[in-house]
């Protein structure tokens, strides 16, 4: 009798144990005032007893294992009131309803997510720039998407081609890792003009990560990462979108996005862009057009597959055709000599795939594969000098994600392969390289509670030119003051191959002689660039004037072990060589608040100290402002029909290249003037049924500040002193524009 009784008791205990500890699953939602249900992604759910941490997916779904009865779930989301949920029945599917952080009452929600959101949960310093941010200005392409951003500086490279480049943390854009949906998008010789090849209306959001990044995306990212997320085929916010833009230079753009739900698993979208700039204008009467004429056609076609078995797959392609013409192309000028003309023709073709598989029988484990093939052909003619660049790229990145016992311990491991074949022809140089890089990486994330996380990453790559490359990175995050404050710290190493010609394409609009060293068999005779970056920031949210406010203070320091520099302090030459010492440090503080109802205010200040040891000694790099002030005001009426956006920026003096070796009439001062830049836009929204129309009118450089005599020896383009690269401020002047955005939902 004893044995059957023991067996019976064991069955009862197992049953009770199963009832007390089981898997729990549910969804996190928000109830809108229209009674619509919105599923919330990236919401953190923390088990108090088991110390597990999970995040809700794009459908608001989450799952926790071995949760006991009466366990408390701590639910935290940015912009939402923190919730505590007590588990009564682990086997019952639960719904957790979050409320926006600010409400007038239980029905009318007046909280609106800001255009720029800071991640309090991610150990990396990430700013999410959503659609509201992208519509603060015309945002015709990626290079123009940061005119209203406090962290990014935008500057044209020369007075002829109109190419725009960006700066962050005191470093130029080549030190920023640029990705599209977390796949590298601009690399090698593409970095020069590539920012203009991604239309702003194609972008749903931008993730701006400052400081050293994750090892998952490669060994670059010296000063940060800019990731763009395009409109997702499977999660459309509209069926059809149309955007039209025109400015006083007669530049006109047309963008169409068409989303289709093919069946319950398949969906697709088509993104089409065309732009034309037919008008040649010379506002300063120097005989050179201020903005190139030309046209661009840009098409992206994507498909998305999502199955109930855990497979998510996106694939598609992109085609870009871009032609530009600039220089002395004005018909009404009587040129004393043969006109100086610059022409550029670019073709780029991409094929990409991004797939992920979630193991349903193994929660917390998944595998993903990213693939990209890119063909880039850029043909340029600078008067009599050609610059042609041809690049073929293949990229593969395999990532496996899992957990160790509980979700407090997660890891990602993977393998990557990248090959870049480049051929360049500039003047008397014929250059080429065939890079092949294979690497493995691992990243461990320790999150014992919502108040602390530790992210450690390592990757080891083998480069066919540079040998073994070891990249360590560490990120720390501490939340305190009831999640209202967060302090982050990061340190890590970065590595990149220099591309001196493409990255200094603005210098080709001059008569300078280019000197490239061939002291080693490495590409361009240069060592790779290596640096350590340390970053820290503090974020605090509070109430000011009885409304939400936040303050952000951050500091970044990059120390170069080796840096490839373009020495232009000889006005007749450009010397490329490795600097033995260089650093850049930046300090930035920001305040966001609502001093009055419906008025959002963003105030920022930045200080930069950047030095490089040239052959003649330690000096600042040219064209980088030491100080920058920033103020953005956004007023939205109560009915949300009118939106007024105003931005003012103060840019301090910048060091200019040394020109005292020129005749006195071709010399420039050692430092530029400081100046202000004003931007504004008014938007009017009309809604009816499933349609929405936004009409906008705006202006850039409203104070009409321009750089005087931007081209050295503009009347003698064949002179050895001719130089159009000495640009530190706008050259066109005030630019007015108008447009409309139409959504059919």
**Per-residue pLDDT tens over the stretch 272-295:** 999 999 999 999 889 999 999 999
Mean pLDDT of the chain: 89
- Residue 2 counted as domain residue: no
Cα torsion for 378, 379, 380, 385, to the nearest 10°?
Answer: 130
User: Are 86 and 139 found together in one domain?
Assistant: no
- Per-residue pLDDT, averaged over 703-711, amounts to 95
Burial of 244 (0-12, 13-18, 19+ CB in 10 A): middle
User: Are 132 and 222 found together in one domain?
Assistant: yes
Report the candidate in 490, 543, 479 with the shortest Cα–Cα distance to residue 102. Answer: 543
- Residue 725 counted as domain residue: yes
Q: Which of 37 and 137 is assigned the larger pLDDT? A: 137
- Residue 108 counted as domain residue: no
Handedness of CA 330, 336, 338, 343 (dihedral sign): negative
Count of domains forming the chain: 2
At 473, is the secondary structure helix, strand, or coil? strand
Q: Are strands 642-651 and 171-172 parallel, antiparallel or unpaired?
A: unpaired
Judged against a pLDDT cut of 70, whether residue 406 lies above it is answered with yes
Where in the sequence is the domain holding 49, given as residue range(s)? 20-97
Judged against a pLDDT cut of 70, whether residue 104 lies above it is answered with no
Percent of the chain with pLDDT over 70: 93
Using pLDDT thresholds of 50, 70 and 90, give the confidence band for residue 362: confident
- Residue 228 counted as domain residue: yes
User: Are 89 and 175 found together in one domain?
Assistant: no
User: Are 132 and 42 found together in one domain?
Assistant: no
CB 634 within 8 A of CB 616: no
pLDDT score for 565: 95
Using pLDDT thresholds of 50, 70 and 90, give the confidence band for residue 707: very high
pLDDT score for 101: 57
User: Are 71 and 145 found together in one domain?
Assistant: no
Read off the CATH number of the domain in which 298 is found. 2.40.170.20
Q: Which of 144 and 272 is assigned the larger pLDDT? A: 272
User: Are 248 and 326 found together in one domain?
Assistant: yes
Q: Which of 47 and 648 is assigned the larger pLDDT? A: 648
User: Are 81 and 130 found together in one domain?
Assistant: no
pLDDT score for 31: 67
- Residue 331 counted as domain residue: yes
User: Are 503 and 601 found together in one domain?
Assistant: yes
User: Are 135 and 51 found together in one domain?
Assistant: no
pLDDT score for 13: 43
Cα 576 from chain centroid (whole Å): 28
pLDDT score for 91: 63
Place of tokens 């833009």: 245
Using pLDDT thresholds of 50, 70 and 90, give the confidence band for residue 105: very low
Reported as a single tens digit per residue, the pLDDT across 430-440 is 999 999 999 99
Reported as a single tens digit per residue, the pLDDT across 218-256 is 999 999 999 999 998 887 789 999 999 999 999 999 999
- Per-residue pLDDT, averaged over 513-517, amounts to 90
- Per-residue pLDDT, averaged over 201-223, amounts to 93
Read off the CATH number of the domain in which 75 is found. 2.60.40.1120
User: Are 189 and 89 found together in one domain?
Assistant: no
Judged against a pLDDT cut of 60, whether residue 2 lies above it is answered with no
User: Are 241 and 203 found together in one domain?
Assistant: yes
pLDDT score for 167: 93
User: Are 732 and 592 found together in one domain?
Assistant: yes
């Amino acid at each position: 009798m004893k044995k059957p009784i023991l067996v019976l008791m064991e069955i009862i205990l197992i049953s009770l144990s199963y009832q007390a500890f089981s898997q729990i699953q549910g969804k996190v939602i928000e109830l809108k005032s229209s009674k619509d249900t919105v599923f919330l992604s990236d919401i953190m759910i923390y088990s108090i007893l088991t110390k597990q941490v999970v995040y809700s997916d794009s459908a608001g779904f989450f799952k926790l294992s071995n949760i006991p009865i009466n366990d408390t779930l701590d639910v935290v989301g940015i912009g939402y009131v923190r919730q505590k949920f007590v588990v009564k029945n682990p086997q019952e599917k639960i719904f957790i309803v979050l409320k926006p952080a600010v409400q007038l009452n239980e029905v009318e929600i007046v909280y609106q997510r800001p255009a720029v959101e800071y991640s309090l949960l991610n150990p990396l310093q990430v700013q999410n720039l959503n659609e509201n941010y992208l519509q603060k200005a015309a945002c015709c392409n990626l290079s123009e998407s940061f005119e209203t951003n406090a962290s990014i500086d935008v500057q044209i490279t020369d007075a002829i081609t109109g190419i725009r480049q960006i700066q962050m943390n005191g470093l130029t854009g080549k030190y920023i890792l640029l990705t599209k949906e977390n796949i590298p998008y601009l690399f090698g010789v593409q970095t020069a003009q590539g920012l203009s090849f991604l239309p702003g209306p194609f972008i749903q959001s931008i993730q701006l990560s400052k400081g050293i990044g994750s090892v998952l995306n490669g060994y670059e990212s010296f000063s940060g990462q800019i990731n763009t997320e395009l409109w997702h085929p499977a999660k459309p916010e509209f069926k059809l979108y149309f955007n039209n833009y025109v400015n006083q230079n007669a530049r006109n753009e047309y963008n169409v996005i068409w989303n289709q739900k093919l069946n319950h698993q398949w969906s697709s979208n088509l993104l089409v862009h065309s732009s034309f700039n037919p008008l040649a204008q010379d506002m300063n009467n120097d005989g050179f057009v201020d903005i190139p004429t030309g046209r661009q056609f840009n098409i992206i076609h994507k498909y998305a597959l999502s199955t109930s078995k855990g497979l998510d797959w996106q694939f598609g392609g992109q085609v870009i055709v871009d032609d530009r013409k600039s220089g002395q192309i004005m018909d009404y000028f009587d040129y004393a000599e043969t006109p100086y003309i610059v022409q550029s023709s670019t073709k780029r073709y991409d094929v990409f795939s991004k797939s992920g598989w979630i193991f349903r029988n193994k929660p917390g484990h998944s595998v993903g594969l990213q693939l990209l093939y890119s063909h880039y052909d850029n043909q340029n003619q600078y008067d009599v000098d050609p610059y042609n660049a041809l690049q073929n790229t293949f990229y593969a990145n395999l990532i496996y994600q899992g957990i160790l016992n509980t979700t407090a311990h997660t890891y990602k491991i993977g393998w990557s392969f990248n090959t870049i074949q480049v051929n360049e022809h500039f003047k008397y140089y014929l250059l080429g390289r065939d890079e092949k890089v294979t690497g493995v990486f691992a990243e461990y994330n320790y999150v014992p509670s919502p108040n602390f996380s530790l992210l450690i990453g390592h990757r080891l790559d083998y480069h066919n030119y540079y040998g073994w490359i070891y990249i360590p990175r560490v990120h720390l995050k501490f939340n305190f003051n009831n999640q209202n404050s967060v302090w982050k710290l990061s340190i890590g190493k970065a590595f990149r191959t220099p591309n001196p010609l493409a990255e200094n394409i603005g210098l080709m609009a001059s008569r300078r002689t280019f000197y490239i060293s061939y002291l080693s068999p490495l590409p361009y005779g240069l060592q790779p660039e290596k640096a350590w970056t340390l970053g820290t920031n503090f974020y605090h949210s509070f109430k000011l004037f009885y409304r939400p406010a936040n303050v952000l203070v951050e500091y970044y320091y990059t120390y170069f072990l080796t840096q490839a520099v373009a020495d232009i302090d000889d006005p007749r030459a450009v010397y490329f060589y490795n600097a033995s010492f260089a650093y850049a440090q930046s300090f930035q503080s920001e305040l966001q608040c609502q001093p009055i109802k419906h008025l959002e205010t963003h105030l920022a200040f930045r200080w930069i100290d950047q030095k490089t040891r040239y052959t003649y000694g330690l000096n600042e790099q040219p064209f980088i402002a030491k100080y920058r002030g920033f103020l953005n005001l956004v007023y939205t009426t109560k009915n949300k029909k009118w939106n007024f956006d105003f931005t003012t920026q103060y840019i301090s003096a910048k060091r200019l290249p040394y020109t005292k070796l020129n005749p006195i009439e071709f010399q420039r001062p050692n430092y530029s003037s400081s100046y202000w830049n004003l931007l504004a836009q008014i938007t009017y929204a009309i809604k009816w049924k499933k349609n929405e129309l936004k009409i906008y009118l705006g202006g850039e450089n409203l104070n009409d500040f321009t750089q005087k005599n931007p081209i050295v020896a503009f009347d003698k383009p064949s002179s050895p002193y001719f130089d159009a690269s000495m640009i530190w401020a706008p050259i066109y002047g005030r630019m007015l524009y108008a447009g409309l955005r139409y959504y059919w939902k």
